[in-house]
Amino acid sequence: MKIIASKDSLVGALQFAENIITAKTTMSILSNILLETVNNSLRIISTDLEVAIKILINADVKSNGAITLYAKKLTDIVKALPHDDIEMSVNDNNITTIKSKNKEVKAEFKIKGIPKNDYPVLPEIKKEYTFKIAQKNLKDMIRKTIFAVSTEDSRAAINGIKIELKDKKLRLVATDGRRLSFMDNKVDSDIKINDVIVPFKVLNELLKILKDEGMAEISLSENQIYFKVDDIELISRLIDGKFPEYMQVIPQSYEKKVVFFTNKMLNALKRVSLLTSEKRTGKIKFSFKKNSLEVSSSDPEIGEAREDIEIIYEDKEFEIAFSSEYLLDSINAIDSEKFVMGFNNSESASMLKEDGSENFFCLIMPIRIS
Amino acid sequence: MQQENILHIDMDAFYAAVEQRDFPEYRGKPIAVCGRTDQRGVVSTSSYEARKFGVHSAMPVRTAMKKCPHLILVQGRFNRYTEVSEKIMDVFCSFTPLVEPSSIDEAYLDVTGSLLLFHNATKIARMIKQRIKDEFLLTCSIGIAPNKLLAKIASNFKKPDGLFLLKKSEVESFLDNLKVEVLPGLGPKTAEIFHQQGVILVKDLKRLSREHLVRYFGIYGEHIFKMARGIDDSVVIPASRQEEKSISNETTLDHDITDGETINKILLSLSDQVARRLRNHKLKARTIKLKVKYFDFKTITRQITLSEATDLSAKIYKTVLNLFSTISLRPVRLLGVGSSGFDPGEEQLSLFQNKKLAKVERSVDSIRERFGSNSIKRASLLED
């Protein structure tokens, strides 16, 4: 194999491919990236056996072939070369020579590769359903839900985002059992999808790949999901499990509604959070008064913080407490200048949504006030 | 049920085989590894040469010597076995990250993901056997099946140095003609009960209704019902090696126990005690641990981290039972239930919480506080 490709397109692709590789893998071949020529392009592949990525980049193919190379070193070498074309050639002993076409830099690297035969053969996905969605919309939906995904290992079903498609409406829902994020968006497709849970990892990578223009293609088979974004393909297994009955925990109505000014609230929260207890919950107390909110925190070992901020609220006084992390995650997902929170009492789920939009909301369970 | 992607690997006569490997003078001879080699000792593992004379694990040394007068008793070197075991587990880990050691000489492997690389599970099993032979001069038996239960039965089917693939399509016909005692954890006493009812083969067992089995054996009956149909939903849980501050209770039994129902009762009682101590300390634990010491002093622990911290005995019990179902059921000398990974007293409320259960358990606590700890008990813990 011998190819010439630009440094910039190589670096971009190699970084996406490297992200898929798990540092902890017990199988050394999976620390490698597979490079293979396809017509007049170079295909870059990596996998951790659960997620796989395939990226096609333009290349001047001098001779066809394939090789797998240790991902970390390959990426480091390509990054260290100047912004010019890079030549890669593989000899019969799988030794790969990498050098820059730049006349000033005469560096040459020889690294040992492992032949393609030793690399896993990625399964072809049987696309049973396919639909398309604007990249920007998909990116928004993932960004506004993914933070609520559970990272704990005991309940696999909530280690991903649930995807539903019905009546031309795509829905993403994520929860860790204490909070939930929910977003709907229109798509132009008549297919129906239910009971699909997509692992965090593939969506987190997809988030980095999605742009603000163009369409993304999503296909499903019985146990796999496939994304095609421009020249990048991502394939992941689906999570096999039962997602919680989330509709049952969404309150029908709220007794009190409060309007917040997004930036003011975000800044106040960041300041007051400085003195929450270092331990997991990071409790922040809200004391609502007419058009004013006192945000406070205290750590018995360090001290306490409080800040008054302006809100829009006319009802009677009440108190409630939340985890600062949960509040910050949700407010960070808000794109409007104002946002709304709905409350029933200090021990039931509170809702947080953008002002003027019904497509997206978060539920957060409070921390009990002792 | 998935394809045949679960391996159960069982080292053949592990302790004895290590001794025979380390000391060539024992090779080809009947030996028995024991915790103590005097008349009060019990055989931990016997070599295949000794098994021909009927010498088996758990047999008193006295009996073993009668069956095989020239039996060589070998003082067990348990640290050595642990050392070899860890190296063998490393070999398993090079084929898949999903390796669950179920005891010092047994492990379950989920090779679903590794098939992309090695094409089929049988090939993986052959490669593992070869490496164990080449690198450790030991043999193992491997069962390949669609789930852990069936893989375990399969590994036992062609021992020693066996390799048996139980295909999904053949599960039913295979199980039907096995004797009931082949089902893991179904001890001689339970088997005797079945024999009296004319239940000899698994296909006979399948005629008994779920209700009937549950009435006889409690939760364990449900387990038997599923086993007879080759159903096992448990997943391969990779071992985790961390320990931290914990609240735990354990109990040493006055005799070795194999009976599932008794074990369930003990686990329930231990879960109750741990949950009460958590509530007394106003703590909730995120990690639940099970400890089991077998009759031969092999000790194993299993733990799992919950998605949310708990102080409820029902939740702890359920978790512990799940963990218990992942280990091999052999005579048990000690059982322990532990909890760790505590959340601070602040109470983060949950969206999907079972509020009723929490209320019941707190009421039980207050009754016990006023009237003593034996004033209120679970019906299943009442003596007949």
Query: Taking a C-beta distance cutoff of 8 angstroms, is the pair B277, B247 a contact?
Result: yes
Tokens at B122, concatenated: 């049988």
Q: What is the DSSP string of A264-314?
A: HHHHHHHHHGGGS-SSSS-EEEEEEETTEEEEEEEETTTEEEEEEEEEE--
Distances (CA, A) of A149 to A16, A247, B106, B305: 22, 17, 35, 16
Gap from B348 CA to chain A (nearest CA, Å): 4
CA B331 to chain centre: 11
Picking from A123, A158, A368, the nearest residue to B349 by CB comes out as A368
Q: What is the pLDDT of residue B239?
A: 65
CB–CB contact A122 B94 (8 Å): no
Per-residue pLDDT of A344-353, as tens digits, reads 999 999 999 9
- The answer to whether the CB of B23 falls within 8 A of the CB of B2 is no
Helix (H, G, I), strand (E, B), or coil: what is residue B301?
A: strand
User: Cα–Cα distance between A292 and B210 in angstroms, integer?
Assistant: 61
Digit-coded pLDDT (tens) for B334-364 = 899 999 887 655 677 888 866 666 677 777 7
CA–CA distance, A214 with A230 (Å, rounded to integer): 8
SS3 per residue for A170-214: EEEEEECCCEEEEEEEECCCCCCEEEEEEEHHHHHHHHHHCCCCC
ipTM: 0.81
B326-361 in b/e form (b: 16+ CB < 10 A) is bbebbbbbbbbbbbbbbbbebbbbbbbbeeeebeeb
Token pair belonging to B217: 């054996």
Q: Say yes or no for a CB contact (<8 Å) between A154 and B94.
A: no
DSSP string, B17-69: HHHHHH-GGGTTS-EEEESS-STT-BEEEE-HHHHTTT--TT-BHHHHHHH-T
Superfamily (CATH) of domain A2-118: DNA Polymerase III, subunit A, domain 2 (3.10.150.10)
* Domain edges within chain A: 2-118, 129-248, 251-364
Query: ∠ CA B19-B22-B27 to the nearest 5 degrees?
Result: 65
Return the structure tokens found at A103.
């006349």
CATH number of the domain at A129-248, out of 3.30.56.10, 3.90.230.10, 3.40.50.150, 3.10.150.10? 3.10.150.10
Catalytic residues of B: 106
CA distance B55 to B61: 9
Contacting residues of A for B286, CB less than 8 Å apart: 152
Chain B contact set for A369 (CB, 8 A):
none
Residue written as tokens 């039994």? B253
A133 neighbors A319 (Cβ within 8 angstroms): no
Tell me if A129-248 shares its fold with A251-364: yes
For residues B134 and B91, is the Cβ–Cβ distance under 8 A? no
Amino acid sitting at position B1: M
**How do residues B19-54 score in pLDDT, each as one tens digit?**
999 999 999 999 999 877 887 788 889 999 999 999
Phi, then psi, of B121 in degrees rounded to 5? -65, -35
Q: Quick one: closest CA in B to A368, which residue?
A: B347
B1: pLDDT strictly greater than 50:
no
Q: What is the pTM of this model?
A: 0.64
Q: Residue B250 pLDDT > 90, yes or no? A: no
Cα distance between residue A82 and residue A84, in whole Å: 6
pLDDT at A136: 97
Residue B143: the pLDDT is 97
Residues of A in contact with B97 (CB under 8 A): 24-27
Q: What pLDDT is recorded for position A278?
A: 60
Q: What angle do CA A92, A93, A97 make, to 5 degrees?
A: 85
| Closest CA of chain A from B239, distance in Å | 13
CB pair distance less than 8 Å for B346 and A281: yes
Residue among A29, A96, A109, A24 nearest A67 (CA) = A96
Class of domain A251-364: alpha beta
pLDDT at B215 over 90: no
Nearest-neighbour CA in chain B from A174: distance (Å) = 12
- DSSP letter at A17 equals H
Query: How does DSSP assign B231-286, residue by residue?
Result: ---PPP--------SEEEEEEEEEEEE--HHHHHHHHHHHHHHHHHHHHHTT-EEE
Question: What digits encode the pLDDT tens for the residues B9-20?
Answer: 999 999 999 999
Q: How far A140 CA lies from chain B's nearest CA (Å)?
A: 25
Q: Are A84 and A101 in contact (CB under 8 A)?
A: yes
* Cβ pair B346:A150 closer than 8 A: no
Comparing CB atoms, the residue among B343, B350, B352 nearest residue A280 is B343
Low-confidence stretches of chain A (pLDDT < 50) are none
HSE, side-chain direction, 13 A CA sphere, residue B75? 2
Mean pLDDT, to the nearest integer, of B209-223? 84
